[in-house]
Amino acid sequence: IIPRDDPPPYHTSSEELASSLDRTNRWMDRSLETHRRGPQTGQMCYGIVHGGSVPSLRKASVDFCVSRDFDGFAIGGALGKDAGELWNIIQYVMSGARLREVADRTDRPVHVLGIADPWNIRRLVQLGVDTFDGCFVTKISRHGTMLTGDVRNPGRLSIKAGRWKDVHDRLEGCHCPTCSQYTLAYIHHLYKARERELVSTLVSIHNLTFMTRVMQTIRDDIQRGSL
């Protein structure tokens, strides 16, 4: 369970962020109390780390969450305007605010809200993040973008591009239900024929299969000690 929170947008003043954080903390206390009173069926309740890009607020939010008996932690709120700022915020929360130390010591998982692309997932796992969620994979699928190449450093191709209209080959190296049956030229044709829902479905199948391989590779690398 992720308690209801008050996530302000990126361009928010420190004063408004502080007020939002206080409101979220009150809501989390009420949510956790209600959760603990209910039947314990194995369901987990996470504390949400907020504070935008303000280190002092992020630290205060971590301190609040670790002082309660949440089953895990979710890093949320505004996570920066680009990948660089995202990295800095998560790195500070995990190391500077010592969330990773507490999570490891108490065997509680850390989740990042709304981040689910293969590049950031691999980077953030190195900081101690355990799980992720987001709509990235299916969102790019709706626009005809396919993940390709090395699962440790993926590339992209746009099936909308005219270069694929005469490529009567299936995508090399992929054996998902889409790529094992349909050529790039055919999927491109479907897009040009405005069969957008069908394209979205076929590309989503491919991208979700690709992400399954990404996550399996991450697990394998962790077990080998190379990540």
What single string gives the DSSP state of each residue in 52-111? TT-HHHHHHHHHHHHTTT-SEEEE-S---SSHHHHHHHHHIIIIIS-HHHHHHHHT--EE
Q: What is the pLDDT of residue 129?
A: 96
Percentages (nearest 5) of helix, strand, coil residues in the chain: 50, 10, 40
At residue 10, the pLDDT reads 85
φ/ψ of 27, rounded to 5, equals -65, -40
Q: What percent of the chain has pLDDT over 70?
A: 100
Find the mean pLDDT for residues 11-17.
90
pLDDT tens per residue across span 158-208: 999 999 999 999 998 899 999 999 999 999 999 999 999 999 999 999 999
pLDDT band at 41 (very low <50, low <70, confident <90, very high): confident
Average pLDDT over the chain, rounded to an integer: 94
Question: What is the rounded average pLDDT of the residues 26-33?
Answer: 95
pLDDT at 38: 85
The mean per-residue pLDDT over the stretch 67-80 comes to 94
Split at pLDDT 50, 70, 90, the class of 11 is confident
Tokens linked to 211? 């992400």
pLDDT, position 165:
93
pLDDT at residue 40 is higher than 80: no
pLDDT-derived band at 35 (thresholds 50, 70, 90) equals very high
For range 64-75, the mean pLDDT: 96
